[in-house]
Structure formats: C-alpha cells, structure tokens
Chain A
Amino acid sequence: MTLAVETIGLSKSYGPVRAVESVSLRVGRGEIYGFIGRNGAGKTTTIRALLGMIRPSAGSVRMLGEAVGPHGRGPWRRVGHLVEEPSAYPELTVRENLEIARRLQGLEGSAATSRAIERLGLGPYADRKAGVLSSGNLKRLGLARALLHAPELLVLDEPANGLDPAGVVEIRELLAGLVREQGVTVFMSSHILTEVDRLATRIGIIHQGSLIEEIEAGTLEELRSPRLEVEVRDLDTAQRALAGAGFEAIAHDGALILTQAEAIAAPDRVATILVNAGAAPTRLAIQQEDLEAHFLRLTGGTQ
C-alpha cells in the first residue's frame, strides 16, 4: 500500500536560514502522526511543503502516492488541511465560507456543507458572519473546511490551538473517530503535547529544522511506565546484589534501571539491599517520563 505522506531529504532554506533540513518522513495509511517541535523548529514550513505551498530547496514530497508540486500539483481532492491560524472571509457567513470551499473542491450539492456544519457543532453559527466568530469557532470553521470533502488524509497544523477544554476533547474524539471508522490518516502538529500523547500512534520531533526522533506508540507507553533509577559508584556489585535478591536491574547511562512493580513499590528495600552489599546508592528516584519531559530533554529543556 502506498504511504500517506512521504518526504525524502526535504529541505527548505530562506536565504542563509535553513528552516528545514533533510527531513525524511514516512507516514502509513491510518496513522495519526504527531509532529512536534518548538516555535520556529520547522513544523509549519514542513507542513506548507507537504501541501505544495512552498517549493522545497531540496528533496521531494509525495502525498497518497502522488508527487506534490512544483506548481500546486497534488492529490488535493483527497487531502484536507488546516494551516496555522484558520482564516475566513469575514464578510461571509460560516455557511457561505464553506460553500466557497465546497465549490472549489468540485463537490456537487450543499449536503456536504450541512454535514460539516453539523459535525463541527457550528449549527448555531451557520448564518453568522465569520468576522464575528470567536477564535475557537473560527478554528472549527477551518476544521469543517478541512473535512468538507471527506478526505483520506488530514494535514492539520495545531488543530486544537485556541479551543476550550471541551473543544479540545471534541476534536480529539472527532479525529480518533475518523481514523477508527473511516481509516483517515492524520498528520498533525501541535504544541499541546498531552493531546499528541493521547492521540498519536507515532510522533516525530523536529528541532532546528531536523527530525531528531520518531517515537512509536509502544515506546511512548514505555516512557510513561514508572521506573526506579539508582545511581551507585560500583555498578557491577550493585547489579549482582540486586539480581541475588530477585530484581532485574539494567545498566543505562551510568545508572541502574529497575522496572519491576516490586522495586517501584518498595524502593527502601532496594536501598537496604545495596547498602548491605556495600554499594550504597548515591541517588535513588522513581522516574516517569511523559512526552513533555522527553521532548524538553531532547530539545534542550525550558530555555
């Protein structure tokens, strides 16, 4: 089966500034790919290149098996998108804005417009001018436009940004439902890492224009599992002592990692074993790294 999104060595420079550098992505059908990075990391540039809005300086982009660009060519009938902050013609109503999108998508009949309005809960605002919508409802309008033509692939830039907590949950459920029931592929960037963590089946982290890590859902689970980290001066002695007491300790980065529930439930017992073995711990802590902590560690903390 063809990939939903494939980039090979995608690079984009603006003069001397390299916004995106040799990003190679492979997103399979039915995946929810979370694309995260700091401000200016290259998320939106990558998304714009995926959608043929900018020409890559190097590399290539394929969407749903079809080459994108260089003159706006692409499988756009099968792709829905929301790029950066949603925009709309302020003097037109929500329905009229969607009608324009529907006709430019080449869809016959206005049933698709009504469906999109209903799906995004825009019914009460359908005849209201877009210029007076709240940012949350403007976001819903943008999402309604992206979903209007029942696309196979959704490319969404910060889809939950600006929504209230109920809206965030609603969009999460909507996207999960689309993937589950219709096999839609979602490629989404977000700053709301908890949302990405909950929704994505795979996550790509972009930093300073480069894709520095891709995390599978299984790895995310591992990240979320608590573990006991023990630092000692004599790793071998400590590892032997713990093994003798029935604890499996894995040496990693100059520390021992214990993942058994018994060890996590009784760190004092682990400490006693080590002291008795003459390898007293210099640090002993239960760690549970979530996506946010992992992301911050990879991209250089909170500075």
Chain B
Amino acid sequence: MSSLLAALWAEGLKARRSRVIAATAAAFLLLPVVDGFFMIILKNPERARALGLISAKAQLLAGVADWPTFLQILLQGTAVAGAMLFAFVSTWVFGREFSDHTAKELLAIPTRRATIVAAKLLLTASWAMGLTLAMFLLGLGIAKAVDIPGWSSELARTSFADLLLTAVLTYLLMPLVALFASMGRGYLLPLGWALGTMVLAQIAAVLGWGDYFPWAVPALTSGVLGPRAEQVGLHSYLSVLLVFAAGTLGTFIWWRSADQSR
C-alpha cells in the first residue's frame, strides 16, 4: 500500500469515527431543507401571510417559488455556509492533532510529513465536495417533493456547475485555514481567521473591491452579494489561486520545518 493511501485511510478513519462529519452534514443539509420550507411558504401566499414574520422574510429572500429561485438560494447559501463549514472541517482535521496532542505521533515515522499533509488536504477537499454534492442532491429531492415549477435539465446542469464553482472557490481558501490551525496548534486562530475574513469580505464587497479580495470571490460568484457578481473575472480567480498556493505551500513547509516542541 502506498504511503499516501495509508495516510488517506488513517485520515478517513479518524473522520468517520468523529461526530464532526455528522455535525457538518447536518448543518450543510439544513440549507436545502430551509430552502424547501421557503418554497412551501411562497407557493401558498395566504398561508405565508398568516405566518407573519417568517413569510415576510421568505418573500424578502426569495420572491417566487420556482426552480431557478430555489437553486439560486442554494447557491448563495453554499457560499456563506461553505465559508464557515469548510473552515470548520479544515480546522478540525489539522487542529485536532494539536489539541489531542497526537501531532507528535506523526513526525518520527516512515510516512513523510508531506504525505500526511497531502492526505489531510485531500480529505478536507473530498469532505467539502461531498457535502456540496449531498446538499445538491437533497435539494433536488426536496424541490421535486415541494413540486415547484420551472424545472429543466439545462437549469439543473448550469446550477450544479455554478454550485461546484462556488464550492471549489470556497475550498481553495481553506489551506490557509489549515496553516493557521497548524501554526496556532488548535482551533482558535483558524476559526478567528475564518470569521474575520468573512466580515472583511462583506466590507470589501460593499466598498466595491470584492473582486480583488479572494475571500469575497465565492460569494460574488454565487450572487449572494448582488449584481456586483459581474465584476468577478480572471483576476479574482487568480487571487483565490494565490491564496490556495500560499496556504498549501505554507502548510507543507510548516509541517516539514517547524519545531514541534509541544
């Protein structure tokens, strides 16, 4: 068995046995459930009005109960929830080795440190993409069950492509979270970083610099920040790729070279 497969197996086992998979899945899969709930409300305006505040909020967010609206909400939700949940996953995968004091068991072994980092990054990528796929499939099922108009296979295909792009862009920002989880040897620094960049992304988008601010790019792509989404271009994707490269390289270098004195 190659050492990467062994490391992947180890990371997979740790993830499967933890409650974090279930927790992140529950949080992420709530998105299509809430989306479906909005559609039910929007489909029945009389009942929506009777519900008062909830129906007002549903109208504010969505507007009409149809497939394009449903899938747009799903997409926008992915950008927002993904930024936090993917960060949470990366933080756990890397930070738990320090909070559980198990990092030292991964250092003086035949499997190279770079292989272990690669396995962790691959696991977080699979985890993020798996959550996205599961959410999309559940969304399709829920929307079908709610029976809203406007379905077309072309719409589903383009929506899935947009969703995947948003999820991939969001994931590409995560290796930097992994680096902070490693450098901070735990959870506080990376989660603080994730929250901080979310806030800064909002500010950058309001100021009109969102397309140059990597952490705003997934949200702009999803359309959650409004019509400014048009600004997203090659320079935006390159900025995200730059963050990905810096985070990945930084994490590899840190694991290879940093003193592990705790």
Contact = CB atoms under 8 A, between A and B. Distances in A.
Contact of B109 (A14, A70, A84, A105): A105
Interface of A: 14, 45, 48, 51-55, 70-72, 74, 76-77, 79, 81, 83-85, 87-92, 96, 99-101, 103-106, 108, 145
B102 A88 contact: yes
A87 B105 contact: yes
Contacts of A85: 101
A88 B10 CA distance: 13
Contacts, number: 89
B100 A72 contact: no
B151 interface: no
Contact of B13 (A74, A79, A92, A145): A92
Contacts of A104: 3, 6-7, 10, 106, 109-111, 116
Q: Report, nearest first, the 9 A-B pairs whose CB atoms are least far apart.
A: A87-B101, A103-B6, A51-B108, A54-B259, A53-B260, A100-B10, A104-B111, A91-B17, A71-B256
Given A89-B100, A89-B102, A91-B17, A53 B1 contact: no
Nearest to A70: B257
B109 A76 contact: yes
Contacts of A52: 107-108
30 contacts: A45-B261, A48-B260, A48-B261, A51-B108, A53-B260, A54-B261, A55-B257, A55-B259, A70-B257, A71-B256, A72-B108, A76-B109, A81-B108, A85-B101, A87-B101, A87-B104, A88-B102, A89-B14, A90-B100, A92-B17, A96-B13, A100-B10, A100-B13, A100-B14, A103-B7, A103-B10, A104-B110, A105-B109, A105-B110, A106-B3
A29 to B, nearest CB: 19
B112 interface: yes
A53 B259 contact: yes
- Chain B, interface size: which category? 20 to 34
Nearest to A102: B6
A53 B262 CA distance: 10
